[in-house]
């Protein structure tokens, strides 16, 4: 079958298949007949990119639910080591019992003989919605007097959250498809690559980490913000980013990369609109809890400020190696500020204006690289950004392999499976897993930075065929000025 060696045409409706733009994918198709041919009817199937991605996401998420089955079967018992030994740990079932939900209490507004919820307001709201659905199913939680009853109800709570998080996963994939597709580029240019959403839908880490915590909720809000920006709606971008920040702090970081994009594109007014909308939406969500329960509202900020170096971070490895850093918070701020400055210089000095997803990925990845804690589910923050910034199978597989290895080793570390016979000998295998996880992230950061410096190698731009699919806000500069802005 004759194959295409380069872009087939510059028809705006023409979309290149993954086997045409990714050498690694093309190599994997050899046994299936090779890359698509010149006369392949790619648009006649019912299986559109969106439907394919949603189907793959469903299978991936279902595998993740099966992987958590041992913990669901055993019940959510904090005294049991089974969640770590079976690699199926999740905060969801345990926090239901330990943050007042098992007694029928509301987060932040009700207190009792339990710690205050150490999560942002909107994540607390997500948990409360799941808890209220659970109470409708199981009855008044105040009637659950025994530990066994509370654990059983916690199991229902986990299932309810799993369904809600699955809906978040589907929305995330749909938003990634739409953002990767973009809008019509400049006249004569090709369209984006919606099949890149498979890098989200088929990711092993989506299966392994989606139901560990509630991070996926913040990720889908952030993806919604990026979709709004790709459609030229800076105010909606800000509203959704503010909501994302009210669910998890990290979405706020995207305002920095966006500023560089807007400076290069000479469109600062949309950036100011986005910033104002972000601040207002975040404030409106937080204001009621702040006014009614200020101390409880502060728990998230206090917890993160006072938290010591913890699992998954290089600072934790240094602590285990007896080289603990005295003030991790200040050092983190200094290093992260330096990395952000470097990314800003890279974006401003690049030969062509960098794509929004590229800079957003670099900033969030830098934050995770030096943060004082790295929970396994934090990888979800990067998942849609990688699909938009560096959709290449080889690099994606390297990164996923490093993350999956760390995911496995952290539970084995907690289960003390990796502890050597001599208690004076440190757990160096876990150290290696942390460093390998960081190396996988650093590898992606380097190849994305290279794409910014050498835009002809950018897998999304395809040379000069595609503009930035994730940037739909019009510039005040003429097209000729943007090439060298």
Highest mean pLDDT, choosing among 3-7, 109-113, 185-189, 423-427: 109-113
Average pLDDT over residues 97-124: 93
Which pLDDT does position 51 carry in this prediction?
A: 94
25 within some domain: no
- For residue 7, being part of any structural domain is answered with no
**Residues 264/192/225/369 CA torsion (nearest 10 deg):** -70
What is the predicted pLDDT for the residue at 26? 54
Exposure string for 417-437, b = 16+ CB within 10 A, e = fewer: ebeeeeeeebbeebbebbeeb
Reported as a pLDDT band with limits 50, 70 and 90, residue 343 is: very high
Residue, of 480 and 362, whose pLDDT is higher = 362
For residues 300 and 471, what is the distance between their CA atoms, to the nearest angstrom? 33
Find where tokens 């609109």 sit: 273
Number of domains composing the chain: 1
Provide the pLDDT for residue 44: 58
- Give the residue with greater pLDDT, 226 vs 36: 226
In a domain, 3, yes or no: no
More confidently predicted of 143 and 49 = 49
Residue 172 lies inside a defined structural domain of this protein: yes
153 within domain boundaries: yes
pTM assigned to the model = 0.90
- Mean pLDDT over 406-426 rounds to 80
- Asked if residue 36 is part of any domain, the answer here is no
**Does 22 map to a domain?**
no
Angstrom distance (rounded) from CA 444 to CA 450:
10
- Residue 114 within any structural domain of the chain: yes
Which pLDDT band, with edges at 50, 70 and 90, does 10 fall under? Answer: very low
- pLDDT bracket for residue 426 (50, 70, 90): confident
Confidence of residue 279 (pLDDT cuts 50, 70, 90): very high
Q: Which domain holds residue 446?
A: 50-478
């Amino acid at each position: 079958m004759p194959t295409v060696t380069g872009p087939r045409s510059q028809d705006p409706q023409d979309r290149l298949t993954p086997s045409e733009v990714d050498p690694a994918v093309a190599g994997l198709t050899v046994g299936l007949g090779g890359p698509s041919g010149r006369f392949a009817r790619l648009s006649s199937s019912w299986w559109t990119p969106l439907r394919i991605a949603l189907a793959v996401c469903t299978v991936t998420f279902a595998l993740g639910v099966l992987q958590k089955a041992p913990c669901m079967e055993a019940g959510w018992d904090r005294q049991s080591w089974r969640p770590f030994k079976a690699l199926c740990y999740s905060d969801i079932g345990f926090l239901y019992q330990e943050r007042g939900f098992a007694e029928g209490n509301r987060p932040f507004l009700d207190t009792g003989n339990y710690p205050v919820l150490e999560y942002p307001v909107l994540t607390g709201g997500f948990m409360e919605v799941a808890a209220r659905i659970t109470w409708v199913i199981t009855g008044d939680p105040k009637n659950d007097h025994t530990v066994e009853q509370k654990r059983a109800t916690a199991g229902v709570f986990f299932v309810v959250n799993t369904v809600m998080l699955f809906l978040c996963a589907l929305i995330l994939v749909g938003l990634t498809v739409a953002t990767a597709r973009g809008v019509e580029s400049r006249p004569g240019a090709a369209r984006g690559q919606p099949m890149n959403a498979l890098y989200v839908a088929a990711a092993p880490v989506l299966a392994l980490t989606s139901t560990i915590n509630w991070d996926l909720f913040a990720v889908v809000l952030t993806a919604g913000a990026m979709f709004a920006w790709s459609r030229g709606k800076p105010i909606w971008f800000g509203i959704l980013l503010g909501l994302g920040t009210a669910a998890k702090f990290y979405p706020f970081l995207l305002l920095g990369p966006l500023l560089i994009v807007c400076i290069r594109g000479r469109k600062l007014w949309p950036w100011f609109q986005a910033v104002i909308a972000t601040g207002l939406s975040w404030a409106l969500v937080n204001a009621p809890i702040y006014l009614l329960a200020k101390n409880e509202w502060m728990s998230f900020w206090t917890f993160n400020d006072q938290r010591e170096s913890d699992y998954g971070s290089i600072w934790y490895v240094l602590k285990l190696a007896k080289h603990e850093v005295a003030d991790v918070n200040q050092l983190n701020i200094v290093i992260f500020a330096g990395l952000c400055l470097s990314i800003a210089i890279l974006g401003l000095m690049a030969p062509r204006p960098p794509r929004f997803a590229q800079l957003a990925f670099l900033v969030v990845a830098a934050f995770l690289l030096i943060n004082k804690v790295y929970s396994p589910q934090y990888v979800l923050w990067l998942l849609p950004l990688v699909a938009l910034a560096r959709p290449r199978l080889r690099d994606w597989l390297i990164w996923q392999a490093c993350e999956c290895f760390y995911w496995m080793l952290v539970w084995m570390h907690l289960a003390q499976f990796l502890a050597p016979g001599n208690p004076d000998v440190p757990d160096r295998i876990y150290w290696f897993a942390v460093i390998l996880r960081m190396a996988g992230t650093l590898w992606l950061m380097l190849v994305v930075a290279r794409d910014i410096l050498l835009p002809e190698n950018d897998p999304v731009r395809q040379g000069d065929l595609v503009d930035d699919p994730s940037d739909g806000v019009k510039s005040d500069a003429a097209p000729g000025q943007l090439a060298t802005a």
